Amino acid sequence: MKLSFVKSPLKQIKADVLAVFLFQDTQLFQRDARTLGRLFGSRIAPLFDAGDFLGKEKDTAVVYLGRGHKSPRLLLVGIGEQTKLTPERLRRAAAMAAKKAKTLKASSLALAIPTLRKDVPDSIVALCEGASLALYKFDKYLTKEPEDLKKIQEIILCSGDGAAANAAGGAVRRAQIIVDATVAARDLANAPGNEIYPETLAEATKKSGEQFGFRVTVLEESEIEELGMGGVLGVCQGSSKPARFIILEYGTGGKPVVLVGKGVTFDTGGISIKPAASMAEMKMDMSGAAAVIGTFQAIARLKLPVHVVGLIPAVENMPSGSAVKPGDIIRHFNGKTSEVDNTDAEGRLILADALGYASRYNPAAVVDLATLTGACVVALGHVVTGMMGNDEGLMKRLKAAGEKTFERLWELPLYDEYEKLIKSDVADVKNVGGRWGGAITAGWFLKKFVGNYKWAHLDIAGTAILEEHGEYTQRGASGVGVRLLTEFLKSWK
Ligand code: BES
Ligand code: ZN
Ligand code: ZN
């Protein structure tokens, strides 16, 4: 989606749909109604007289302006009370505008920036995010009908007001970068398993690195073996697709922040095979990896002054005669052993190696993202990401970034009492902890492999893979993590 900004009075804007946002507060509403009446003439008054549009959240109305107007359609969108306005409310309102414009078969949409009292640049970014992300569709495999080709091609933010205009140019450029990166993550995660497997995920990462300016090193299976990453090797050994260990790096100097992304390009469950129903969604089991790759794209384009390393263990989890079996014992990168009780708990096995490897960088902090457990979805649904970790300060920073971007995080406790649930008689740790507290026992497993650094684990199983559409998300991959981590890194130093 192409985003742009023009400084211009409303009446001069030329787009298939011109959307304006109205507050519901009586005085503001009447002021804006009068202004619109003055600008666009007699067709406006009947709408307000009828009382059909009150400026409440989710209120919309289309007015056909007729000859003599540059934009044929004026779309009114309510944004509720001014004191309750948040960036998220703007995201949702812009998403409504975009979806409405789409049903009107518009190819260009203009969004008039409302009068904002605070958070001006962030609010403009929010408008851009809501409108662009609402229009996302994973359609590259659809053989298109001519009718479907008519898509919204560009979104034009506009304002005639000097103060908003000053902030808007930069905000729209920033939004373009963030939206592109989120879309890239969605595209990667939505891509089917026959397109994205470890080798092609590595290639896609390299391509992104070349295009946007970050370094990518790909370790092949022989190197993974030399390093002694038994978790990565164990999980991939049933598949005909070789594993890859992808290392991304952006910036230099100082201790880096390390981002680890689970890169299971397809999770059948292995010998502990999953039921057929909804197994297809396990093509998105590399959503953590996609979030890391998208974040690198964003921070490189934004030229953030940070040093960041990304680690992606990439494997396909398949059953076969050579697959890892329940009861097998694996030796991980840091020398610790784990008993594989269930081959479907594969994410933690590969993350264990990556978390061990992270110590090599003497990191300032390590954040891992993983579609790790169904238990996290049971606990929190698709609304919020589960967070665990060993450092309150780090988790607080992440949580704050999550509130800003509305990719919210909720802490689950890594209390000591959970540790015994993953005790093994034959190895240092067992890869499953029984029926209860599954998100936490998975977190505890990871904690056993965390080095001497600050660490947070984000279980995105519920928030990365969606069953239904939302305001600006669709069924399938949400691209969660990109906006969150970009915001987190923006305020890192
Ligand atoms: N990739 C899955 C977790 C998952 C489930 C993500 C549903 C998104 C939606 C993970 O590898 C897995 O299979 N976990 C098992 C662990 C169990 C065997 C202890 C699970 O959650 O059932
Ligand atoms: Zn699994
Ligand atoms: Zn998995």
pLDDT digits (tens, 9 = 90+) for 377-409: 999 999 999 999 999 999 999 999 999 999 999
Q: Does the pLDDT of residue 146 top 70, yes or no?
A: no
Q: Is 3 helix (H, G, I), strand (E, B) or coil?
A: strand
421-436 burial, b for 16+ CB within 10 Å, e for fewer? bbeeeebbbbbbbeee
Check if 274 is active-site. Answer: yes
Supply the pLDDT for residue 42: 82
- Cβ of 439 closer than 6 Å to ligand 1, yes or no, is no
Supply the pLDDT for residue 210: 98
Atom of ligand 1 nearest to the CA of 375: 21
Phi-psi group of 136: left, alpha or beta (phi > 0 → left; psi -120 to 50 → alpha; rest → beta): beta
Supply the pLDDT for residue 66: 85
- Cβ of 344 closer than 6 Å to ligand 1, yes or no, is yes
Supply the pLDDT for residue 150: 79
Atom of ligand 1 nearest to the CA of 371: 6
- Cβ of 377 closer than 6 Å to ligand 1, yes or no, is yes
Q: Nearest-CA neighbor of 350 among 324, 326, 385, 327?
A: 324
Nearest CA to ligand 1 atom 13: 344
147: confidence class by pLDDT, cuts 50, 70, 90 = low
Q: Does the pLDDT of residue 148 top 90, yes or no?
A: no
Check if 348 is active-site. Answer: yes
Nearest CA to ligand 1 atom 3: 373
Supply the pLDDT for residue 6: 96
Backbone angles phi, psi at 17, to 5 degrees: -135, 130
> Are 107 and 69 spatial neighbours (Cβ–Cβ below 8 Å)?
no
- Cβ of 461 closer than 6 Å to ligand 1, yes or no, is yes
**Mean pLDDT over each residue of the chain, to the nearest integer:** 97
> Are 342 and 366 spatial neighbours (Cβ–Cβ below 8 Å)?
no
Match 């890194």 to its residue by tokens: 489
Strand partners, 313: 245
Kindly report, residue by residue over 115-135, the tens digit of the pLDDT.
Answer: 988 889 999 999 999 999 999
Q: Which of 274, 336, 448, 490 is catalytic?
A: 274
Cα of 335 to ligand 3 centre, how many Å? 23
Mean pLDDT, to the nearest integer, of 458-485?
98
Contacts of residues 389-395 at CB distance under 8 Å and 24 or more positions apart, as own/partner, are 389/414, 389/454, 389/455, 389/456, 389/457, 390/414, 390/447, 390/450, 390/454, 390/455, 391/365, 391/454, 391/455, 391/456, 393/454, 394/365, 394/367, 394/454, 394/455, 394/456, 395/456
- Cβ of 341 closer than 6 Å to ligand 1, yes or no, is no
